[in-house]
């Protein structure tokens, strides 16, 4: 990168990262803030983390993250999952947390709580989810990384799964993120360059129930954190550049014990009928500004109308051709925008397919 916008010097950092920690463990607590972002802070533990019980509840100043008023600002962090830390290595961990208020209620941005209640009540269906996270890399000034200053690259065509100079941007960041995810134990299932230059995708899954949301949020944290070292910004905006440039989605692949069994196509069709009845409810939680992406063009469907079809990338839900041939498997909900919350997406899918649960 030509500009002097990289403010961290990771080469110098290396020798300090290798210093022994004298038996101490660093736990980086990660949570979701009030503006669809992630925040984190760390603390020293006296011993290695062997189970969630070794990670105590903690708190932060919610008035500084848009999550609480100044006169009652303590928000509590409750650890729900932890992963090996690919930055600090050793026994150090990254800790995914839920946010809770002092009155014993989940924080307004804690969408995990309701989703976990739904997942738990429907354990017998063995929900699996695999999400395709699209995102765009921006330079320090907020313009897509590698695009001409004050201008546009050549029209879309050569970039999707592109190889070669001018066809692909920031492969270094994508590779670094992939390895960081694998090290952390995230079930990242692949990655590809997208249709718009500087836009990429990674997939997480299949993961069971609530685990998908935990892993996807941690993978987002890792992406922001890795890109920081390269001086790039990540945006999950559904339509980062207006006009003839593809938007970014979060295709959600779904299966249950019933859809995966022989003859599972019947269960998939039953799910389609239920999804069709709740189009507006789903769109309400499928990401902000999704209207600007779901124009019916650029491999999207209509915002208002539910449709489904085999191998059809212009419908709300696509049944992969192989699934139709096998008569069982999974379906792909193509509606969610890249900035949607995976807890809300997977939660409402379970609710629509299996019914409401009192939480």
Q: Is 287 in the site for ligand ADP (CB under 6 A)?
A: no
Q: How far is CA 5 from CA 8, 63, 138, 221, 229, in A?
A: 9, 29, 12, 21, 10
> Per-residue x/- marks for Mn ion, 50-89, CB under 5 A?
----------------------------------------
Identified binder of ligand ADP from the candidate list 79, 162, 206, 287, rule CB under 6 A? 206
Q: Is 225 in the site for Mn ion (CB under 5 A)?
A: no
HEC secondary structure over the chain: CCCCCCCCCHHHHHHHHCCCCCCCEEEEEEEECCCCCEEEEEEEECCCCCCHHHCCCEEEEHHHCCCCCHHHCEEEEEEEEEEECCCCCCCCEEEEEEEECCCCCECCCCCHHHHHHHHHHCHHHCCEEEEEEEEEEECCCCCECCCCCCCCCCCCCCCCCCCCECCECCHHHHHHHHHHHHHHCCCEEEEEECCCCCEEEEEEEEEECCHHHHHHHHHHHHHHHHHHCCCCEEECCCCCCCCCCCCCEEEEEEECHHHHCCCCHHHHHHHHHHHHHCHHHHHHHCCCCHHHCCECCCCCCECCCCCEEECCCCCCEEECHHHHHHCCCCEEECCCECCCCHHHHHHHHHHHHHCCCCC
Which of Mn ion, ligand ADP, none does 130 bind, CB closer than 5 to 8 A by kind? ligand ADP
Q: Is 132 in the site for Mn ion (CB under 5 A)?
A: yes
Stretch that binds ligand ADP, among 71-79, 219-227, 326-334, 340-348 (CB under 6 A): 326-334
# residues contacting Mn ion (CB under 5 A): 3
Which of ligand ADP, Mn ion, none does 253 bind, CB closer than 5 to 8 A by kind? ligand ADP
In whole angstroms, give the CA distance from residue 304 to residue 241: 22
Which of ligand ADP, Mn ion, none does 189 bind, CB closer than 5 to 8 A by kind? ligand ADP
Identified binder of ligand ADP from the candidate list 28, 132, 211, 341, rule CB under 6 A? 132
177-206 b/e (C-beta count within 10 Å ≥ 16 → b):
bbebbeebebbbbebebbbbbbbbbbbbbb
> Restricting to residues 234-273, which ones interact with Mn ion according to CB under 5 A?
251
Q: Nearer Cβ to ligand ADP, position 62 or 205?
A: 205
Pairing mode, if any, of strands 25-32 and 188-193? unpaired
Stretch that binds Mn ion, among 5-13, 27-35, 125-133, 172-180 (CB under 5 A): 125-133
Can you say how many angstroms the Cα of residue 255 is from the centroid of all Cα atoms in its chain? 18
Stretch that binds ligand ADP, among 20-28, 30-38, 254-262, 282-290 (CB under 6 A): 254-262
Least distance (Å) between residue 193 CB and ligand ADP: 12
Which of ligand ADP, Mn ion, none does 144 bind, CB closer than 5 to 8 A by kind? none
Q: Is 333 in the site for Mn ion (CB under 5 A)?
A: no
Q: Is 238 in the site for ligand ADP (CB under 6 A)?
A: no
> Restricting to residues 102-131, which ones interact with ligand ADP according to CB under 6 A?
128-130
Beta bridge partners of 29: 41, 95
# residues contacting ligand ADP (CB under 6 A): 16
Q: Is 330 in the site for ligand ADP (CB under 6 A)?
A: yes
Q: Is 87 in the site for ligand ADP (CB under 6 A)?
A: no
Which of Mn ion, ligand ADP, none does 85 bind, CB closer than 5 to 8 A by kind? none
Least distance (Å) between residue 132 CB and Mn ion: 4
Q: Nearer Cβ to Mn ion, position 132 or 341?
A: 132
Q: Is 347 in the site for ligand ADP (CB under 6 A)?
A: no
Identified binder of ligand ADP from the candidate list 33, 332, 333, 351, rule CB under 6 A? 332
Q: Is 201 in the site for Mn ion (CB under 5 A)?
A: yes
Phi and psi angles of residue 268, each rounded to the nearest 5 degrees, phi first:
-65, -45
Q: Is 300 in the site for ligand ADP (CB under 6 A)?
A: no
Residue numbers of the site for ligand ADP (CB under 6 A)?
128-130, 132, 189, 203, 205-206, 251, 253-255, 260, 329-330, 332
């Amino acid at each position: 990168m030509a500009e002097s916008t990289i403010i961290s010097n990771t080469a110098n950092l290396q020798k300090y990262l290798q210093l022994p920690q004298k038996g101490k463990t660093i736990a980086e607590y990660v949570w979701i803030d009030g503006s669809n972002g992630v925040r984190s802070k760390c603390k020293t533990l006296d011993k290695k983390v062997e189970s969630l019980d070794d990670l105590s509840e903690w708190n932060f100043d919610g008035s500084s993250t848009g999550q609480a008023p100044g006169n009652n600002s303590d928000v509590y962090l409750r650890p729900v999952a932890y992963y090996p830390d690919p930055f600090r290595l050793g026994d150090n961990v990254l800790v995914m947390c839920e946010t809770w208020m002092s009155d014993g209620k989940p924080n307004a941005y804690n969408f995990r709580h309701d989703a976990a209640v739904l997942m738990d009540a429907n354990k017998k269906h063995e929900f699996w989810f695999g999400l395709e996270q699209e995102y765009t890399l921006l330079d320090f000034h907020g313009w897509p990384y590698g695009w001409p200053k004050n201008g546009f690259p050549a029209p879309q065509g050569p970039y999707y799964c592109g190889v070669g100079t001018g066809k692909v941007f920031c492969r270094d960041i994508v590779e670094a993120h992939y390895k960081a995810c694998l090290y952390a134990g995230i079930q990242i299932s692949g990655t590809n360059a997208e249709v718009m230059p500087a836009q990429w995708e990674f997939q997480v899954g299949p993961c069971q129930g609530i685990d998908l949301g935990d892993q996807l949020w941690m993978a987002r944290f890792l992406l922001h954190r890795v890109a920081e070292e390269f001086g790039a910004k990540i945006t999950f905006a559904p339509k980062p550049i207006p006009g003839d440039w593809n938007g970014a989605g979060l295709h959600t692949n779904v299966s249950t014990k019933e859809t995966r069994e022989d003859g599972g196509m019947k269960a998939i069709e039953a799910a389609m009928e239920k999804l069709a009845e709740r189009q507006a409810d789903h769109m309400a939680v499928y990401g902000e500004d999704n209207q600007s992406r779901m124009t019916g063009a650029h491999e999207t469907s209509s915002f208002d109308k539910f449709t489904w079809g085999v191998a059809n990338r212009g419908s709300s839900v696509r049944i992969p051709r192989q699934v139709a041939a096998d008569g069982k498997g999974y379906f792909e909900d193509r509606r969610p925008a890249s900035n949607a919350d995976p807890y809300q997406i997977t939660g409402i899918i379970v609710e629509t397919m299996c019914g409401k649960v009192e939480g």
